[in-house]
Amino acid sequence: MAAVAGVAVEPGHWIGGERVGPGSGGTFADVSPIDERTVAEIARGGAGEAEAAVAAARRAFPAWSRTSREERARLLHAIADGVDKRVEELAQVETADNGALVRSHRRGVMPRVAHNFRFFADRLLRLGHEDFDTRGHTNHVSWDPAGVCALITPWNAPLMLATWKIAPALAAGNTVVLKPAEWTPLTASLLAGITAEAGLPDGVFNVVQGYGAEVGGPLTAHPDVKRISFTGSVPTAKAIAAAAAPNLTPLSLELGGKSPLLVFADADLDLAVDLAVEQYDNAGQVCLAATRLLVESSVAGEFTERFLAKAAALRQGDPRDEATDIGPQIHRRHLERVDGFVRRAKDAGARALLGGGPNEKLGGLYYRPTLFTGAPEGAEILTEEVFGPVLTLQTFDTEEQAVAMANGTRFGLAATLATGDPERARRVTSRLVAGTVWVNCFFVRDLRAPFGGARESGMGREGGDWSFDFYCDVKNTVTAPWAR
């Protein structure tokens, strides 16, 4: 047992309703981004643990899949209640583990975790189409549980992104093996305890800890896994797709982005600047972040001036401090990756109007919010996901040019538009390649809506009934008239 931020956390796996300690793989150090100190030694799983977790989930599947919708929904509500009771503990532990702001965890992220469970519990009870008739034959559509689901999640919003998958998978009557990111293993372990207290039967929810290739590899290659849902990077998605291919395991992939924020001259510039500065949230470690600021030339000067003034006022520091706006990067390896992008951008001729390096005053893993201008067309900084607090500024003169620039990467996760003209909004949004488009707003999320990415930003959609479509074997039963 480890104590993190004053909270007791089990550092092992959770398999078949039991805590399972390290096996032959030993442990790995879980390091806090706040001070780079080890907060826990975590069980380092491998093929044996993946096998054991899938077997436990497979054993639990028949009973769970036959449990009534009402009972499944009741248990998911009980889990949500357990999350609500522990918001402060979860917030503190998540902040210690991934360095995101405790104020965001308290007020936004952990309530969203509970909402993930409640939303899919309630949605389950309303799931269903009207039967339809074909020459007197009834077509009845049902969503049958698929089996064991392997869920693989990243470190930037660990519990929120994990429960966004766990909740619909369980609601649908499946059993789950979760593999959280190795940089942020702790809240998955706390969630395991919450599910047990809520009364979820043993083996319905399992957690295996460890490195991606070591435990995630065998998990995603396992023939008894019937669905894989993954959020993370494009290279890992390709490895998972290759592992899943021999079994033709259906995949849902939510991947990276290089999303644009288009600012037209007719926009409310204060709003546009607020939207732009918001892109530094979570120290830029947000897949949806609109990291490319595309601004109409006629307002670019004024926009830049106001942006720099507002961004300069952001307070960087300890994420446990309520006054902090920007915390650290997740890990030294990640900071070095971010810094590599920044150095290469400078070498390519881009000019940093803001930031441009680590925060030397704070040291550690703090990276200064950065804005580049003047990057040459096609430069890496304009096309590749940095996943840090690094934005670029480009200008355009026509709507046509703005759309071409917005769509000009291999990604298509999201796009944001600032304009005062509803007609322009309609024209432009219809041409943007993105899974989510926001007009004069950002990160407004409704769980009924589909979520995912176009191009290399993903495959498939989750959210609302799209989640049930993915996590279920959707079946149509056609019955001839009984009375002839």
Ligand X SMILES: O=C(O)/C=C/C=C(\O)C(=O)O
Positions marked catalytic: 254
- Closest approach of Cβ 157 to ligand X, in Å? 4
Chosen residue from 179, 222, 226, 306 binding ligand NAI by CB under 6 A: 179
How far, CA to CA in Å, does 247 sit from each of 214, 233, 255, 275, 308? 19, 22, 22, 43, 52
CB 449, CB 463: distance < 8 Å: yes
Instruction: Among 129, 445, 448, 475, indicate the residue that binds ligand X (CB under 6 A).
Output: 445
Using CA atoms, how far apart are residues 200 and 173, in angstroms rounded to an integer? 12
Separation between Cα atoms, residue 223 and residue 116, nearest integer Å: 28
Residue 9: φ, ψ to 5°:
-130, 130
Q: For ligand X, which is the closer residue by CB, 31 or 162?
A: 162
Q: Is 152 helix (H, G, I), strand (E, B) or coil?
A: strand
DSSP string, 312-373: HTPPBS-TTSTT-SB---S-HHHHHHHHHHHHHHHHTT-EEEE--SB-TTT-TT-B--EEEE
Nearer residue to ligand X within complex by CB, 147 or 232:
232
Which of 61, 119, 164, 470 touches ligand X (CB under 6 A)? 164
- Judge whether 251 and 453 are in contact, CB under 8 Å: no
Query: Which H or E element spans position 191?
Result: helix 186-198
Q: Which does 445 bind (CB under 5 to 8 A by kind): ligand X, ligand NAI, none?
A: ligand X
Compare residues 288 and 386 and give the one whose CB is closer to ligand X: 288
Alpha carbon of residue 381 to chain centroid: 22
Return the residue of 82, 99, 173, 212 that touches ligand NAI, per CB under 6 A. 212
Scanning residues 420 to 479, which ones bind ligand NAI (CB under 6 A)? 453, 458
For ligand X, the closer of residues 275 and 288 by Cβ is 288
The answer to whether residue 233 forms part of the interface with ligand NAI (CB under 6 A) is yes
Note whether 330 binds ligand X by CB under 6 A: no
The binder of ligand X chosen from 451, 468, 470, 471 (CB under 6 A): 451
Local structure of 179: helix, strand or coil: strand
| CA distance to 78, 208, 358, per residue, from 165 (Å) | 17, 16, 34
**Residue given tokens 């007791």 in the structure block:** 8
Choosing from 14, 61, 155, 438, the residue that interacts with ligand NAI (CB under 6 A) is: 155
Q: Which of residues 121, 151, 181, 283 is near ligand NAI by CB under 6 A?
A: 181
Binding positions for ligand NAI, 358-417, rule CB under 6 A: 385, 387, 413
Kindly list the distances between the CA atom of residue 70 and the CA atoms of 6, 142, 172, 471, in Å, as whole numbers in the listed order.
Answer: 36, 16, 12, 18
Q: Does 220 bind ligand NAI (CB under 6 A)?
A: yes
Q: At what angle do helices 69-85 and 186-198 cross, to 10 degrees?
A: 130
Based on CB atoms, which residue is closest to ligand NAI, 161 or 275? Answer: 161
Q: How far is the CB of 133 from ligand NAI (least distance, A)?
A: 39
Residue 10 or 462: the one with the smaller Cβ distance to ligand NAI is 462
- Residue nearest ligand X by beta-carbon distance: 287
The item of ligand X, ligand NAI, none sharing an interface with residue 232, based on CB under 5 to 8 Å by kind, is ligand NAI
The DSSP output letter for 245 is: G
Please give the DSSP secondary-structure letter assigned to residue 418.
E
Place of tokens 């990756």: 337
* Residue nearest ligand NAI by beta-carbon distance: 212
Paired tokens of 153: 């999640």
Residue 412 binds which of ligand NAI, ligand X, none (CB < 5-8 A, kind-dependent): none
Q: Min. distance of Cβ 333 from ligand NAI in angstroms? A: 10
If we measure between CA atoms, which residue out of 378, 376, 437, 374 comes closest to residue 403? Answer: 437
Task: Give, as ranges, the residues between 246 and 275 that touch ligand NAI (CB under 6 A).
Answer: 254-257
Nearer to ligand NAI, 240 or 403 (CB): 240
Q: Which residues contact 119 (CB under 8 A, 6 or more apart)?
A: 167, 447
Q: 253 or 403, CB closer to ligand X?
A: 253
Looking at 153, 156, 206, 394, which residue binds ligand X (CB under 6 A)?
156
The DSSP secondary-structure symbol of 110 reads: H
Q: Which stretch binds ligand NAI (CB under 6 A): 28-36, 137-145, 229-237, 394-402?
A: 229-237
Cβ neighbours of 388 (radius 10 Å)? 23
Using the rule CB under 6 A, is 117 a contact of ligand X?
no
The least distance separating ligand NAI from the CB of residue 253, rounded to whole angstroms, comes to 8
**Contact flags string 262-301 toward ligand X, x per CB under 6 A:** --------------------x---xxx-------------
The number of residues in the chain equals 484
Site for ligand NAI in 156-175 (CB under 6 A): 156, 161
Ramachandran class of 337: left when φ > 0, alpha when ψ lies in -120 to 50, beta otherwise: alpha
Which of helix, strand or coil describes residue 301?
helix
Q: Does 141 bind ligand NAI (CB under 6 A)?
A: no
Given ligand X, ligand NAI, none, residue 164, with its beta carbon under 5 to 8 Å by kind, binds ligand X
Provide the minimum distance between the beta carbon of 392 and ligand NAI in the complex, in angstroms, as a whole number. Answer: 17
The C-alpha atoms of residue 208 and residue 199 are separated, in whole angstroms, by 20
* Identity of the amino acid at 90: L
Which residues bind to ligand X, rule: CB under 6 A? Answer: 156-157, 164, 282, 286-288, 445, 451
Which residues bind to ligand NAI, rule: CB under 6 A? Answer: 152-156, 161, 179, 181-182, 212-213, 216-217, 220, 231-233, 236, 239-240, 254-257, 287, 385, 387, 413, 453, 458
